[in-house]
Amino acid sequence: MAVTSIRTTLGALLGSAVLATTGVVTAQTATAAPSAPTAAPAAPTAATAPSVAAVTKLSHSDAANRFRSAGIGWTSSGGCSDRNNPTCTSFEQINLSTVQGAITLKQASGCALTITGGTETGHASGTYSHWNGYKLDFSPTSCLSNYVTRTFTNIGPRPGDGAQQYKSGSGNIYARESNHWDVLYYNCGGC
């Protein structure tokens, strides 16, 4: 009887592991960003952020296809998608929940969205960073700016750079930097 119970438990655990590896990309532990100069303060620390479950990482092409299907555009000052080039806009190793959060934002706001920053190097480091797949930058259209400021709660300036922050009901943070919205997705925003 004990052997059967152990086999059942082991089978359930192994079955979960097999299911976790059959997706497009398996859940991975976020990696630290390479050394690079930073222009903005680090994202919230693990101590101040909401609890986040294990994340599923996507390839650049998978994320790009999902954005394209949802009608979300992107631009790159370098006209490239190399994650290790700060003039590119890359989605390599972006969290699935971040992609889903952007899609939720598009659907809820009805605004045209253009991503100007993804997981490429050159952003502030930290656990909840662009490099680790938690953040996207968006062009600050009047439609998007009006939606964020009228829908979400103003939680004051971000320490370090003073960017005005707005918190959605799901806990995601929208910070208005000088030339874009810097959005921290802890989750998909109710997808």
pLDDT at 93: 98
Task: Supply the pTM of this predicted model.
Answer: 0.74
Is residue 155, in this structure, part of any structural domain at all?
yes
Buried/exposed code over 161-172 (b: 16+ C-beta within 10 A; e: otherwise): eebebbebebeb
Is residue 163, in this structure, part of any structural domain at all?
yes
What percent of the chain shows pLDDT beyond 90? Answer: 70
Half-sphere exposure of 16 (CA within 13 A, CB side): 6
Mean pLDDT within 131-158: 98
Confidence tier at 191 by pLDDT (50, 70, 90): confident
User: Lowest-pLDDT range, 41-50, 77-86, 91-100, 169-178?
Assistant: 41-50
Is residue 105, in this structure, part of any structural domain at all?
yes
Q: Which domain holds residue 158?
A: 57-191
**183: which 2 tokens?**
């959005």
**Apex 182 CA angle, 129 and 173, nearest 5:** 80
Taking 90 as the threshold, does the pLDDT of residue 142 lie above it? Answer: yes
Q: What is the mean pLDDT of the chain?
A: 81
Confidence tier at 2 by pLDDT (50, 70, 90): very low
> Rounded to an integer, what distance in angstroms lies between the CA atom of residue 52 and that of residue 161?
25
Evaluate whether 27 touches 57 at the Cβ level (below 8 Å): yes
Taking 70 as the threshold, does the pLDDT of residue 171 lie above it? Answer: yes
Is residue 187, in this structure, part of any structural domain at all?
yes
Element of type H or E holding 173: strand 173-176
* Structural domain count of the chain: 1
Confidence tier at 53 by pLDDT (50, 70, 90): low
What percent of the chain shows pLDDT beyond 70? Answer: 72
Is residue 121, in this structure, part of any structural domain at all?
yes
User: Lowest-pLDDT range, 21-25, 65-69, 87-91, 105-109?
Assistant: 21-25
89 forms beta bridges with none
Confidence tier at 52 by pLDDT (50, 70, 90): low
